[in-house]
Amino acid sequence: MRPDNPPGSGADCAPDPNPETPETRTLPARAAFPFPGLSSVDTKLYGRRRGRPIRVHKTALLENLLPQLRFDLPAAGMLDPVTLFPRPVDDVWLEVGFGSGEHLAEQAAQHPTIGMIGCEPFLNGVASLLQHIDERALTTIRVYPDDARPVLDALPDRSIGRCFVLFADPWPKKRHHDRRFIGPANLARLARVLKPGAELRLASDDRSLLAWMFDHSWRHPDFEWLARGASDWRQRPTDWPPSRYEQKAIEAGRTPVFLRFRRRS
Ligand SMILES: C[S@@+](CC[C@H](N)C(=O)[O-])C[C@H]1O[C@@H](n2cnc3c(N)ncnc32)[C@H](O)[C@@H]1O
């Protein structure tokens, strides 16, 4: 049953006075992007690909470590995710838009038998994840430094055991709502690739985005909301490490909300 005051209804979250809004930019010219061979999508990607100049150490990681960890999509056929990892893995989990990678790195550290795939088109964020991987000697993360949608389209049915989409870009203007990652098109992609019983974890501190994500996910016939009480969405579960945007939200006095959905069998 739908709750009386679902997350994002305004009962528990302060409106975001200064939402993080990525610049609206179309893809840069292919020549300016340093990863030739990555598949492109016919869907436009909104948001930044680069921010401040990347420091020398992180640039070296992009040049030396990323080529060992990134993967390309097959020109034909599907991507078998377990083959991305050098050793057998018990399951494969996916993070869409890992930002600076704190959450993904911590998940990898806590679950060493799980293969982790991270997708993130913001190069500065990719460089930060590489630093976590390097410092913590993590061996079970593979990186797609680009849009997650073609990865989802290349994955076989029922191949992913858990997916995280944390503090996605809120796109506050109404005319931009169809850019929000969690919506009908991507929920259909996620429903296809998630295994029966797999968790889809969503979080946001933006009231409008929360209401939107909750509404679309809750209505979706393939997803079941796992909350049994308000503490389930007010408090981050203990096995859910914090991300940078969660910390930024708390420091700014905003209230993050955590949503766990289950892919129905
Ligand atoms: C607001 S940031 C949140 C970052 C991180 N999840 C966190 O909680 O700190 C949203 C991230 O999603 C990424 N993003 C947006 N669209 C994406 C897409 N189609 N595929 C993968 N990542 C995407 C952006 O580049 C950005 O880094």
Model confidence over 184-194: pLDDT tens digits?
999 999 999 99
What are the backbone dihedrals phi and psi of residue 19, each rounded to the nearest 5 degrees, phi first? -65, 145
Q: Whose CA is nearest to atom 25 of ligand 1?
A: 122
Would you say residue 30 has pLDDT above 50?
A: no
Which residues share a beta bridge with 142? 117
Kindly give the number of the ligand 1 atom that is closest to the alpha carbon of 102.
9
149-153: average pLDDT: 97
Give the pLDDT of residue 17: 34
Closest ligand 1 atom, residue 149 Cα: 19
- Per the listing, tokens 């300016």 go with 32
Ligand 1 in reach of 168 Cβ (< 6 A) = yes
The contacts of residue 232 (CB under 8 Å, 6+ apart) are 226, 258, 260
Catalytic residue, candidates 16, 146, 147, 169: 169
145 lines ligand 1 (CB under 6 A): no
d(CA 170, CA 157): 28
Containing 143, the helix (H) or strand (E) segment is strand 141-144
Average pLDDT value for residue range 142-171: 98
Query: What is the CA(57)–ligand 1 centre distance, in A?
Result: 23
| Domains of the chain, each with CATH number or no CATH | 45-263 (3.40.50.150)
C-alpha span between 191 and 60 (Å, rounded): 37
Is pLDDT above 70 for 21?
A: no
Helical ranges in the chain per DSSP H: 56-64, 66-69, 102-110, 123-136, 148-154, 184-193, 207-219, 231-234, 244-251
Residue closest via CA to ligand 1's atom 24 equals 97
Average pLDDT over residues 132-141: 98
Tokens of 235: 């408090």
How far is C-alpha 216 from the geometric centre of its chain's CA atoms? Answer: 17
Q: How far is the CA of 198 from the centre of ligand 1 (A)?
A: 21
- Whole-number pLDDT of residue 27: 31
Residue 2's pLDDT band (boundaries 50, 70, 90)? low
Q: Give percent of the chain with pLDDT exceeding 70.
A: 84
CA–centroid distance, 250 to ligand 1, in Å, is 18
